Amino acid sequence: MQIEKTVVGVKAQVRAWKKEGLSVGLVPTMGYLHEGHKSLIERAVKENDKVVVSVFVNPTQFGPTEDLESYPRDLNADRILCEEAGAALIFAPEASEMYAENFTTYVNTSGVTAELCGKSRPIHFRGVCTVVNKLFNIATPDRAYFGEKDAQQLAVIRRMVRDLNMNVEIVGCPIIRETDGLAKSSRNTYLSPEERQAALVLSRAIKVGKAMVQSGEKDGEKVLDEMKRIISQEPLARIDYVEMVKWDTIEIHHRVDGPILVAIAVFIGKTRLIDNFIQE
Amino acid sequence: MQIEKTVVGVKAQVRAWKKEGLSVGLVPTMGYLHEGHKSLIERAVKENDKVVVSVFVNPTQFGPTEDLESYPRDLNADRILCEEAGAALIFAPEASEMYAENFTTYVNTSGVTAELCGKSRPIHFRGVCTVVNKLFNIATPDRAYFGEKDAQQLAVIRRMVRDLNMNVEIVGCPIIRETDGLAKSSRNTYLSPEERQAALVLSRAIKVGKAMVQSGEKDGEKVLDEMKRIISQEPLARIDYVEMVKWDTIEIHHRVDGPILVAIAVFIGKTRLIDNFIQE
């Protein structure tokens, strides 16, 4: 497996593959890869001849008070996981390779970014759209793979690809969880042992909400109230949002009468975690 | 020559060409084609196996008080000119084909859009970047051709392509003029006979400014003052801007000590015309 640090390096390799008629899958990540990422890579390997994994902690999607500096990094471990999963190339650029000194172009999607994480993290999705747009242009994948854990991100990327007529199929993949239910996340490493235990309140709330919806509850308020009640019982937890929105326009919608996303963001101590379920 | 109204139609045709190993040139236009456009198409035909001309009066680059509705259109004449020039395909979509009802994604470039037309027309370049980005994704050209008459647009597109790592070479082509000097523009059709005469003040000012720079004048103020003096002698003319900027960052710079762009925008009656010269 190849590790590339430069845009021209990736472009040259992908061009060579395309010339041979090979299909390319892309898995964009911020590294510190876990089983969730691995499931994306394995799916991509199944569906494409060559798989590119990008490992890039993208500065433009972090707010000034967020965890850009402390975000965990371990390229060596990432390399091993990618190799095991069958990736052909890791693209691991420096920030200066992705953002020249006088970089001034951004891609932004409104509406679908107004609620949930877009509300709590104002510049977040502008950074996500911009870097993903760049990665699509660099790797020119036939398919790109995103986890449903970042459900709003998935909706935002789908909207960008549709609106800008981009030539890539976006594949959403299910959330991967620890055996006790906690959704896998690179940010889980921030948690102390007590916090790790407290963090189970997210998946517990998701499980209860999902069960209510699946057993026929149509009233969104009732579902959200019950989920909030569960989370509020955990002293280390502080709710950022607990919301029901249309899947995939991400408009607030408290009625289960079509595809919906129920998404939560909860601070456990200083660590902000997210979880969700989608009811198609 | 083929006329396509749909994105999927163009994508399918271009994909077929690429499969045959053919190169593709794109000439994005708003239609009502003149000799300036024709020179772009002919250049593209020389340098590529197949040339796509897009004819689309893009609503998102017009401000609310601008001439979107009255902008001249004549697809039949455009078809004849494209055919003569050797284009293979015209892409002439309806606005609804380019902008779905819940379209919410825009590409924007700051800095390089702050002065000149970007200052006079606040949302203009956001619309230009967005539609050109879409056209690049639809036609996936190897090369795209833009006239130097819209010099700032050329700089903005180059910045977007660089920043977003787009896979297209941007080719700038010289201004084409009427025999009396007036830069060719679809908007020249707005001019009454008296205004048409008055409009010559633009190219006269450009000619004088260019001669001053070429004969060694380094002081931008002197050049601009002389150009303003010339334009102010024409009673039907009202200056929007007369500026010297760095080529190609488009920062105000009144010293000829590197590549510069001298650009002017002048209202002749209600019609806003632009002209410029570039000193590399």
Q: What is the pLDDT of residues B115-153, one digit of tens each?
A: 999 999 989 999 999 999 999 999 999 999 999 999 999
Interface test with A, best of B104, B112, B130, B170 (most A CBs within 10 A): B104
Contact A102 B111 (CB under 8 A): yes
Smallest CA–CA distance from A7 into chain B, residue = B165
Classify residue A59 by burial, with Cβ atoms within 10 Å: 0-12, 13-18, 19+.
middle
Contacts of A159 in chain B (CB under 8 A): 104-105
Smallest CA–CA distance from A132 into chain B, residue = B164
Which residue among A103, A159, A165 sits closest to B104, beta carbon to beta carbon? A159
8 Å CB contact between B183 and B177: yes
Residue B248 reports pLDDT greater than 90: no
Contact B105 A167 (CB under 8 A): no
- Spatial distance between the Cα atoms of A200 and A236, rounded to a whole number of angstroms: 11
* Distance (Å) of CA B280 to CA B213, B227, B248, B260, B261: 11, 20, 10, 6, 8
Chain pair A-B, CB pairs under 8 angstroms: 78
- Spatial distance between the Cα atoms of B248 and B167, rounded to a whole number of angstroms: 20
Smallest CA–CA distance from B7 into chain A, residue = A165
Q: Give B268 or A101, the one with higher predicted confidence.
A: B268
Which residue among B104, B134, B165 sits closest to A109, beta carbon to beta carbon? B104
Number of Cβ within a 10 Å radius of residue A123: 16
- Spatial distance between the Cα atoms of B102 and A159, rounded to a whole number of angstroms: 9
Can you give the length of chain A in residues?
280
- Spatial distance between the Cα atoms of B164 and A166, rounded to a whole number of angstroms: 13
Q: Which amino acid is at A63?
A: G
Mean pLDDT of A88-111: 97
DSSP state, residue B149: G
Q: Is A185 part of any known ligand binding site? A: yes
8 Å CB contact between B73 and B57: yes
Mean pLDDT of B98-102: 94
* Distance (Å) of CA B171 to CA A34, B160, B259, B273, B278: 44, 14, 17, 23, 15
Q: What percent of chain A has pLDDT over 90?
A: 99
Q: What percent of chain B has pLDDT over 90?
A: 99
**Tokens representing residue B59 in the block:** 């609503």
Q: What is the pLDDT of residues A60-87, one digit of tens each?
A: 999 999 999 999 999 999 999 999 999 9
Chain A contact residues (CB < 8 Å to B):
7, 11, 100, 102-112, 129-130, 133-134, 137-138, 140, 159-160, 162-167, 249
Q: Parallel, antiparallel, or unpaired: how do β-strands A169-173 and A143-147 relate?
A: parallel
Which residue among A11, A100, A165 sits closest to B137, beta carbon to beta carbon? A165
Mean pLDDT of A117-146: 97
* Distance (Å) of CA B50 to CA A207, B46, B81, B144: 56, 10, 16, 12
Closest CA of chain B from A176, distance in Å = 30
pLDDT at site A14: 98
Residue B260 reports pLDDT greater than 90: yes
Q: Is A148 part of any known ligand binding site? A: yes
- Spatial distance between the Cα atoms of A136 and B193, rounded to a whole number of angstroms: 51
Contact A100 B249 (CB under 8 A): no
CATH architecture of the domain B2-173 equals 3-Layer(aba) Sandwich (3.40)
A253 is catalytic: no
- Spatial distance between the Cα atoms of A254 and A274, rounded to a whole number of angstroms: 19
Contact A107 B103 (CB under 8 A): no
pLDDT at site B254: 98
Contact B104 A163 (CB under 8 A): yes
Closest CA of chain A from B80, distance in Å = 28
Tokens 């024409």 correspond to B234
Closest CA of chain B from A223, distance in Å = 28
Q: What are phi and psi of A12, to 5 degrees?
A: -65, -45
Number of Cβ within a 10 Å radius of residue B96: 9
Smallest CA–CA distance from A139 into chain B, residue = B165
Checking ipTM against 0.90, whether it exceeds it is: yes
Q: State the Cα torsion B267-B268-B273-B277 to the nearest 10°.
A: -90
Mean pLDDT taken over chain A: 97
Residue A88 reports pLDDT greater than 90: yes
Give the domain ranges of chain A. Answer: 2-173, 186-275
The three-state secondary structure class of B251 is coil
State which CATH number among 3.10.20.30, 3.40.50.2020, 3.40.50.300, 3.30.1300.10 fits the domain covering A186-275: 3.30.1300.10
CA-wise closest residue to A167 among B160, B11, B153, B5: B11
Contact A7 B165 (CB under 8 A): yes
Residue A32 reports pLDDT greater than 90: yes
8 Å CB contact between A129 and A157: yes
Which residue among B11, B112, B167 sits closest to A140, beta carbon to beta carbon? B167
Classify residue B116 by burial, with Cβ atoms within 10 Å: 0-12, 13-18, 19+.
buried
Contacts of B134 in chain A (CB under 8 A): 163-165
pLDDT at site A248: 85
Which H or E run includes B51? strand B50-55
**Tokens representing residue A72 in the block:** 């965990």
Q: Is A18 part of any known ligand binding site? A: no
Contacts of B160 in chain A (CB under 8 A): 105
pLDDT bracket for residue B88 (50, 70, 90)? very high
Mean pLDDT taken over chain B: 97
**Cβ-proximal residues to B139 (8 Å cutoff; 6+ apart), any chain:** B10, B14, B24, B26, B52, B54, B91
What interhelical angle do A200-214 and A220-232 show, nearest 10? Answer: 160
**Tokens representing residue B220 in the block:** 């931008």
Q: What are phi and psi of B29, to 5 degrees?
A: -140, 165
Q: State the Cα torsion A188-A192-A198-A202 to the nearest 10°.
A: -10
Which residue among A107, A137, A138 sits closest to B105, beta carbon to beta carbon? A107
Catalytic positions of B are 37
Residue B174 reports pLDDT greater than 90: yes
